[in-house]
Structure 1
Amino acid sequence: MHQFSRLLLAIAFISISFNSIAQKQVLFFQTDWGNELPMDDFLAKTKADGYDGIEVWMPRSDEAKQKLKEGLEKYDLKVLFLHGTNKGLPFEESLKAYEEGLRYILTWKPVKVNSHTGSDFWTLEQNLAFIKAGQKIAQESGIPLIHETHRGRFSNTLPATLEMIEAFPELRLNLDISHWMVVHEKLIQKQDPFLKSVLPHIDHIHSRVGFAEGPQVNNPAAPEWKHAVEVHMEIWKEIILNFPEDTFTITTEFGPPPYLPTVPFSNVPIADQWEANVYIMNLIKKHLND
């Protein structure tokens, strides 16, 4: 093939790739992790900064639940609920509580449920019991259930997650790859063969930037983290580009102290958590539109 023909093919492929990204609708969710604002103020600020919804744990009190429900309607925001396995209970009790909690959450009709599932101290079969039980309940509701890649859970490492995918090929995941960056002590690249086997199972992203020695860089806008941000961005774009549905969801999840480093002897954060989340949302939007 002539060099000019190869160039035309390359340009055509790039054009198709960017058009595919442009056609995707990406919904962004703000985390309430570390939030100290009253619910109405938190939701108002979330809406003003351009988010489509929030990701939260189900409130415990009836009053807090009512405020959340009213606020979501008032500001026209979607909700993605967190749910999880209680590792402090015996296995059978924990499984029963997990099922009951999931059934209640699904009555709220969230966009998705993001699950902190199982324990890295339990067997594959025990963790699989949670996944199968959750899948059955979620399928009955028609609402997607996704399992977060997270330290301390069944998905605490990349190989452990692949093992679960082999045991349960229908597994759908929320990729928070910042956990794996620190667990494996390296910036995992998009081309990693283990990661490539996981990517088709990703339905949601937590867009926090980790590095080889920690799950969260101190400020994603700082130039010293440029390479780490780029590595994460390449992975996120790969997932969004190849996602088979028209709408993809992302939660910006830079966390508060101690995830966010503080000044010694003061406990004062060295950066702003909210600004970091808005920054990474806008950076993702820019990359998808370039």
Structure 2
Amino acid sequence: MQRLEVYQSLWAMEQRRPGESEAPLESWIERIAEAGYAGAGLDLAMNDVPLARQARPLLERHGLKCLFNGFPKSDDELAFMLDMARDFGAPYLSVIGQVMPRDVPGMIDLARRWIAIAERAGFPLLFETHRHGLLNDLYPTLELLDAIPELRLCADLSHFVVDREFALPISPADEVMIGQVLDRSWAIQGRVASNEQVQVQLGFPQHRKWLDQFLSWWGQGIGSWRKRAGEDAVLTFLCELGPPPYAITGANGLELSDRWSEALTLRAEIERLWTRPE
């Protein structure tokens, strides 16, 4: 039977409040476990490796799985991250490639090379839709998908909404493009954007229309994945409501909403979409 697993981002546990120290790593992981998440999502640039190793025994102690969002700057870094993700028992490595050719042929060459590296490593590789990465822009991303049928995505649609400055209601042409992304996505990351802000507060009434739009897209993505995935496959959804400056703050430097509560709301909405009748 196909299953959904919802994870919480460790990066999203940061508070970044002026004049306050961050809570200990173990307290973050305890809170994630007590809330009933399947696991935690860890960022993995090379300078994040010590933190990941510190988190590993804590995750294991609390029975949590892990996801990795890798930021490789070279082929060698990608190979290292693939090995580390396998060693930690992650289901795949999602990469925000920090090698960014300016032309589409260069992007295609790089993606094919990294897919080959992952195949030699024998570990699943997903390319994350993310600004300031290989898939910075929607249009060349679609060309990449056309050129490489075996390329698989991890969908963080918030970046493309800002990148293309989508307006509501979403045009039929833009819906088709987002559908093409979702039909090639094998994991989903959760953040709600507007056409001007990469992360908006979920409970503010002026943002309800954007929440509804993302829920519609995520439901579409779940439906597409169910048709493509095996009967025992697992779909991962990562709640990734980031700290400031992703989270909007007031003049005092404090956030305007409670991201932890919003993440729990987001999880509940995704679980509802998963269980709704086809």
If the length of structure 1 is used for normalisation, what is the TM-score?
0.80
Q: Does 1:135 align with 2:115?
A: yes
State how far apart, in whole Å, the 2-side matches of 1:157 and 1:116 are. Answer: 12
Is the CA contact (8 Å cut-off) linking 1:55 and 1:80 kept in structure 2?
A: yes
Is the CA contact (8 Å cut-off) linking 1:154 and 1:160 kept in structure 2?
A: no
Q: CA deviation at 1:121?
A: 5.2
**For residue 37 of structure 2, what is the amino acid of its counterpart?**
Y
Q: What is the percentage of aligned positions where both structures have the same residue? A: 24
State how far apart, in whole Å, the 2-side matches of 1:275 and 1:221 are. Answer: 10
Secondary structure in structure 2 of the residue aligned to 1:255: coil
State how far apart, in whole Å, the 2-side matches of 1:173 and 1:240 are. Answer: 14
Task: Show structure 2 runs of 5+ residues with no match.
Answer: 15-21
Is the CA contact (8 Å cut-off) linking 1:109 and 1:143 kept in structure 2?
A: no
1:108-127 matches, cutoff 5 A? 108-120=88-100, 122-127=102-107
1:25-36 matches, cutoff 5 A? 25-34=3-12, 35=14, 36=22
Q: Cα–Cα, structure 1 residues 131 and 56, in superposed 2: closer, same or farther, change >3 Å?
A: same
In the other structure, the counterpart of 1:213 is 196
| Higher normalized contact order (CA 8 Å, seq sep 6+, divided by chain length) | 2
Q: CA deviation at 1:280?
A: 0.8
Q: Cα–Cα, structure 1 residues 209 and 118, in superposed 2: closer, same or farther, change >3 Å?
A: same
Query: CA RMSD, aligned part only?
Result: 2.4
Paired residue for 1:278, among 254, 264, 267? 264
Is the CA contact (8 Å cut-off) linking 2:128 and 2:156 kept in structure 1?
A: yes
Structure with max Cα Rg: 1
1:240-259 matches, cutoff 5 A? 240-243=222-225, 244-245=228-229, 246-259=233-246
In the other structure, the counterpart of 1:20 is none
State how far apart, in whole Å, the 1-side matches of 2:76 and 2:216 are. Answer: 39
Paired residue for 1:199, among 162, 175, 182? 182
In the other structure, the counterpart of 1:180 is 160
If the length of structure 2 is used for normalisation, what is the TM-score?
0.84
* Greater mean deviation of Cα atoms: 175-184 or 28-37: 28-37
State how far apart, in whole Å, the 2-side matches of 1:233 and 1:49 are. Answer: 22
* Greater mean deviation of Cα atoms: 121-130 or 278-287: 121-130
State how far apart, in whole Å, the 1-side matches of 2:109 and 2:149 are. Answer: 14
Is the CA contact (8 Å cut-off) linking 2:138 and 2:163 kept in structure 1?
A: no
Is the CA contact (8 Å cut-off) linking 2:41 and 2:238 kept in structure 1?
A: yes
In the other structure, the counterpart of 2:25 is 39
Paired residue for 1:154, among 121, 129, 134? 134
Q: CA deviation at 1:122?
A: 2.9
**For residue 203 of structure 2, what is the amino acid of its counterpart?**
A
Which runs of structure 1 show a deviation greater than 6 angstroms over 4 or more consecutive aligned residues? none
Q: Cα–Cα, structure 1 residues 165 and 66, in superposed 2: closer, same or farther, change >3 Å?
A: closer
Q: How many residues are treated as equivalent by the alignment?
A: 259
Instruction: Tell me the alpha carbon deviations over residues 177-225 of structure 1, each in whole angstroms, 9 at most, x when there is no partner.
Output: 11111111115749522222222210111110001111111x1122221
**For residue 123 of structure 2, what is the amino acid of its counterpart?**
I
State how far apart, in whole Å, the 2-side matches of 1:130 and 1:121 are. Answer: 8
Q: CA deviation at 1:41?
A: 1.3
State how far apart, in whole Å, the 2-side matches of 1:62 and 1:199 are. Answer: 30
* Greater mean deviation of Cα atoms: 44-53 or 96-105: 96-105
State how far apart, in whole Å, the 1-side matches of 2:166 and 2:203 are. Answer: 20
State how far apart, in whole Å, the 2-side matches of 1:78 and 1:196 are. Answer: 29
Q: CA deviation at 1:136?
A: 2.4
In the other structure, the counterpart of 2:220 is 238
**For residue 257 of structure 1, what is the amino acid of its counterpart?**
P
Q: CA deviation at 1:141?
A: 4.2
Q: CA deviation at 1:63?
A: 6.2
In the other structure, the counterpart of 2:19 is none
Is the CA contact (8 Å cut-off) linking 1:190 and 1:231 kept in structure 2?
A: no
Is the CA contact (8 Å cut-off) linking 2:82 and 2:123 kept in structure 1?
A: no
State how far apart, in whole Å, the 2-side matches of 1:62 and 1:116 are. Answer: 16
